[in-house]
Amino acid sequence: MSAKRKRDIIDHLEEIAARSGSFQKVSEATYQEFVNLSDSEIDRLSMVIMLNQEKDVDRLAGNLPKAEAVKRVTEFVEGFLWMIGRGFCAVDLHGGLVMTARDGPEPSDEMSEKIKLFRLRSRAVVEETVIRALPWFLEQKNRQRLLHL
């Protein structure tokens, strides 16, 4: 935790991850790798997030009008991207998402600005991914309801 900011929910999640032994090495170089992701990589990472958080995607989209559902799911995915970019979350070897405690420094002020700019740059890509994928997610939910298991 940085001395520059108050404790928040991320600090608590990081403590839980540390207790479970889930650490991720971070440095200015790893933060830079994140902000250099291509649109294609952002698209794939957004899909990984949506697939891993399928129940939350379904809950957020609910029975809302399409525009509101897209907005809510896009913001949700962007939150996960922020956590991945800051080293609080990672994709494991099986494509799952895991909360991690950072092993290394918080991003510098300059890098924090780059991460903010990345978020603005990636928003259109994330939104397009959500627009393309959300109907499929909702269709899968409807199909599962039809199964009589």
pLDDT tens for 118-135 read 999 999 999 999 999 999
pLDDT tens for 73-111 read 999 999 999 999 999 999 998 989 999 999 999 999 999
pLDDT tens for 8-48 read 777 888 888 899 888 999 999 999 999 999 999 999 999 99
User: Torsion angle, CA of 55/46/80/14, rounded to 10 degrees?
Assistant: 90
Residue 5 is encoded by which pair of tokens?
């900011």
Q: What is the pLDDT of residue 149?
A: 52
**Helices in 25-108 by DSSP H: which ranges?**
28-35, 39-52, 54-61, 66-86
Q: Please return the burial class of 17, using the count of CB atoms within 10 Å of its CB with bins 0-12, 13-18 and 19+.
A: buried
